[in-house]
């Protein structure tokens, strides 16, 4: 699973703070955040999945805005070819403001778009596309949805998220996983075996947006709060 922690506080110095955890098969290759794309997406920064070429999170520093993708449950594979990659969706929503007109072939997903004054979430459940504007406050998005107790992670981390402000050190401590064992059902930072492969937290991202700037930090080892580095956005 993946997780996005959000603090939406219009009028404050940092109206948007997003902490994103990416969970993936550890042997799936990826690139650290940079400007990996061309054409319309050339200004965007994000990590790149080498298999499909897309991203789980991208930032538009000039806007500023951040988009984060969380995969939902996969559907049975179609008989007439592979499903389109969901990794292009964060790039598309940042560059065009729209999603593909026809989502019928896509696997399920949640897509978050956060700007200074507005946060939106789209959910494709394989039958319909649902859209919601998030209210100010703190929110957690997981693969099963928004602020849902269906995932034990949410009721554990929701009060911890609510208690912190915008200080980066507090966020990196939170994204380290609150000391939970990676096998705990509430774990934010995970590690387990699936079908003979290691499935684990492979990175974490911290993005803060302000009217006059952006802060973008990244780590491949979120359990170590000292491992974070700032991503240049100029």
- Rounded distance between C-alpha atoms, residue 63 and residue 67, angstroms: 12
Residues 52-64 have a mean pLDDT of 97
What's the mean pLDDT in 59-67?
Answer: 97
90 near 69, Cβ under 8 Å?
yes
pLDDT at 79 over 80: no
Domain count along the chain: 1
Q: How far apart are CA 4 and CA 136, in angstroms?
A: 15
Dihedrals φ, ψ of 160, to 5°?
Answer: -65, -40
Q: What is the mean pLDDT of residues 46-57?
A: 97
What residues make up the domain containing 213?
3-230
Whether the model pTM is above 0.85: yes
pLDDT band, very low/low/confident/very high, at 82 (cuts 50, 70, 90): confident
CATH of the domain at 221: 3.60.60.10
Which letter does DSSP use for residue 183 in this model?
T
What is the DSSP code (8-state) at residue 89?
H
Mean of the per-residue pLDDT values for the chain?
96
pLDDT mean over 77-102: 92
pLDDT at 1: 66
Q: What value does the mean pLDDT take over residues 47-57?
A: 97
* CB neighbour list of residue 45: distance below 8 Å, 6 or more residues apart: 33, 34, 35, 58, 59, 61, 216, 231, 233
* Side-chain half-sphere exposure of 14, counting CA atoms within 13 A: 16
pLDDT at residue 75, rounded to an integer: 83
Average pLDDT on 188-196 reads: 93
Pair of tokens at residue 232? 């240049």
Alpha carbons 75 and 67: distance in angstroms, whole number: 23
pLDDT, tens digit (0-9, with 9 covering 90-100), for 209-224: 999 999 999 999 999 9
Indicate if the pLDDT at residue 234 is higher than 90. Answer: no
Instruction: Report whether pLDDT(81) > 90.
Output: no
What are the pLDDT digits (tens) for 155-181? 999 999 999 999 999 999 999 999 999
Tell me the per-residue pLDDT of 117-153, one tens digit each, with 9 for 90 and over.
999 999 999 999 999 999 999 999 999 999 999 999 9
């Amino acid at each position: 699973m993946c997780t996005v922690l959000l603090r939406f506080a219009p009028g404050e110095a940092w109206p948007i703070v997003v902490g994103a955890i990416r969970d993936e098969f550890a042997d799936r290759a990826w690139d650290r955040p940079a400007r990996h794309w061309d054409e319309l997406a050339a200004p965007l920064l994000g990590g790149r999945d080498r298999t499909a070429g897309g991203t789980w999170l991208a930032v538009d520093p000039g806007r500023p805005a951040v988009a984060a993708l969380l995969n939902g449950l996969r559907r049975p594979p179609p008989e007439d070819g592979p499903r389109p990659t969901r990794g292009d969706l964060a790039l598309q929503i940042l560059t065009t403001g729209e999603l593909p007109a026809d989502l019928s072939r896509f696997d399920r997903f949640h897509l978050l778009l956060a700007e200074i004054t507005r946060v939106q979430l789209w959910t494709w459940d394989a039958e319909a596309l649902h859209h919601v504007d998030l209210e100010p406050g703190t929110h957690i998005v997981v693969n099963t949805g928004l602020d849902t107790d269906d995932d034990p992670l949410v009721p554990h981390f929701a009060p911890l998220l609510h208690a912190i402000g915008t200080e980066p050190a507090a966020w990196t401590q939170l994204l380290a996983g609150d000391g939970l064992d990676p096998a705990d059902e509430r774990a934010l930072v995970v590690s387990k075996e699936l079908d003979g492969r290691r499935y684990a937290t492979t990175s974490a991202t911290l993005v803060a947006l302000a009217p006059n700037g952006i802060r973008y930090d990244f780590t491949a080892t979120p359990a170590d709060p000292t491992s974070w580095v700032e991503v240049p956005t100029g």
